[in-house]
A and B are shown apart, each in its own frame.
Chain A
Amino acid sequence: MAKHKTPLLDQLESGPWPSFVSDIKQEVAHRYANPKGVDFQIPAECPDDLLGILELSYVEGETHWKHGGIVGVFGYGGGVIGRYCDQPEKFPGVAHFHTVRLNQPSGMFYKTDFLRQLCDLWELRGSGLTNMHGATGDIVLLGTSTPQLEEIFWEVTHNMNNDLGGSGSNLRTPSCCLGESRCEYACYDSQEMCFNLTNEYQDELHRPAFPYKFKFKFDGCSLGCVAAIARSDMSFIGTWRDEIRVDQKVVAAYVGGELAPNAGAYSGRNWGKFDIQKEVVERCPSQCIRFEGGKLEINNKECVRCMHCICVMPRALKIGNDRGCSILVGAKAPILDGPQMGSLAIPFIKVDDDYAGVKEFIEATWDWWMEEGKNRERIGETLKRLGFAKLLEVTGTKADPRHVKEPRHNPYIFWKEEEVEGGWQREISDYRSRHQK
């Protein structure tokens, strides 16, 4: 029997979507019933009090959480987010309600025994409530008390071969798509790169020294299953620099209706006969495709790698063979300055086994940001403040037309005096000889 009446939360369950309120109520009932006889290490009433305090916040229109704290595990500056309630007498089950972030496996491949271990651990030492997965991609375990933290950490690292994720002014838990494990579009092994860089940058992940958060995301191709371009301070997006491979016979099969476009997706409704002109040629953002005389031609120099044509006819068109990734910098959500997408910094880099070129770029970027970034300033904001050209300079990257978003409208380019003939001083009489006042 629930302790608190929650009419406002109950109303949320009436909508058409699955409700977190229903999920929490399910856990409330489960913990009170306790069919497995678990020796709960935090109060059994924790999810019940969570509903109670949330209802109170809805009624009063203000939060009852105190934000932040020094909770953590020994030596780590991230992975645990302290949360305390300011009404502990009324809601003792959530007096402490700390969040623990765990590093998710690359591509989010789980074995069922791992998930069982995780759920058993969280039932014993936490609220039983999880968020799979948080915005960064990690496993988020919601609600535990301070004495449980070291116990959880020991269990996770010793018996589950896992680690805490990132929080605070750290490198956040890197995240990748499922890459070459399942996807023919992957232009590099995004899982391997994510794993490698996660291990390489353990110090940055666990010991905060950045001005603010920093996120890596790895998309194997520009379809962007982890939305790296919008959600990460540094995005690695698979691409190729040769030509899209075209099998004209298979193109003809699509045109003739023998193969379903979009691999059979959108088949729930009759969209009519496949029209390659309308559905492929005219949809190309750089208009670099033509279909004439039964032959599909692509002007690859103009292709922007959006991959729409490949998605519509996946058996006829394939990604190129000379593959690597692009690196973009500066995406962020709209806390300050509005949202930003990543800006292209490295148009193409081969992804070698040791990721030497990638690491060189990352470290030069961090050194600059750690030196110049203001407290709580994302690198996208530093870029805007100091200019994209500065990033190119500190990373030793040669300027390229692909860095320019659009002509004469790029806020990133600031000339330096030594780059301008004659500097900032000029002979005005010479100028006036050619231009009247």
Chain B
Amino acid sequence: MALVFEEAKAKIIEFITSKAKMKSKFYFNDFTALFPEEKGRDVKKILTQMINEETLVFWSSGSTSMYGLAGAGKHADGED
């Protein structure tokens, strides 16, 4: 079944919010687990759209990348 953006977005935000006390950054695999019936590439399209509308942001250590809600978590000064 094709993912509907608004529904998938709500589910992703709900998931991130439910974990907010413990962590602010998530691996890509955390999101594919939310949609076990869907292909990873389709989940990626939803995440990309959320990045483009600036609901989510990428976080990168240089070697590993994660996703988080914009503005959530601790950031270094000047990091926006």
Contact = CB atoms under 8 A, between A and B. Distances in A.
Asked if A and B bind, the verdict is yes
Contacts of B60: 68-70, 72, 77-78, 80-82, 167-168, 208
A80 B58 CA distance: 11
Contacts of A75: 51-52
Contacts of B28: 169, 208-211
Interface residues of A, number: 39
Main secondary structure of the interface of A (DSSP, over half): loop
B23 interface: no
B54 to A, nearest CB: 9
B48 interface: yes
A207 B44 contact: yes
A167 B58 contact: no
Interface residues of B, number: 28
A371 B79 contact: no
Contacts of B59: 68-70
Interface string B59-80: 1111111001000000111111
Contacts of A71: 79
A169 B44 CA distance: 13
Nearest to B79: A69
Contacts of B41: 209
B63 to A, nearest CB: 6
A211 B80 CA distance: 25
A380 B34 CA distance: 26
Main secondary structure of the interface of B (DSSP, over half): mixed
A68 B68 contact: no
A234 B76 CA distance: 35
Nearest to B57: A70
A145 B62 contact: no
A396 interface: no
B38 to A, nearest CB: 12
B18 interface: no
Given A95-B78, A367-B40, A370-B40, A67 B61 contact: yes
B27 interface: yes
B77 to A, nearest CB: 7
Given A70-B79, A71-B79, A207-B48, A81 B62 contact: yes
A343 interface: no
Nearest to A84: B76
A115 B61 CA distance: 28
Contacts of A207: 44, 48, 51
Contacts of B40: 209, 367, 370-371
A208 B62 CA distance: 12
Nearest to B44: A209
Interface in B1-52: 27-29, 32, 39-41, 44, 47-48, 51-52
B17 to A, nearest CB: 18
Looking at A75, A82, A208, A209, the one whose CB has the most chain B CB atoms below 10 A away is A209
A375 interface: yes
Given A70-B57, A375-B29, A77 B76 contact: no
18 contacts: A68-B60, A69-B59, A69-B76, A69-B79, A70-B68, A75-B51, A75-B52, A77-B51, A82-B76, A84-B78, A167-B60, A168-B64, A208-B60, A211-B27, A367-B40, A370-B40, A371-B40, A375-B29
The 8 closest A-B pairs by CB, nearest first: A168-B65, A208-B65, A68-B61, A77-B58, A81-B62, A168-B60, A169-B65, A84-B76
Given A70-B80, A208-B58, 13 more contacts: A68-B60, A70-B68, A77-B51, A77-B58, A77-B65, A78-B60, A81-B60, A146-B80, A169-B28, A208-B28, A209-B47, A210-B28, A376-B64
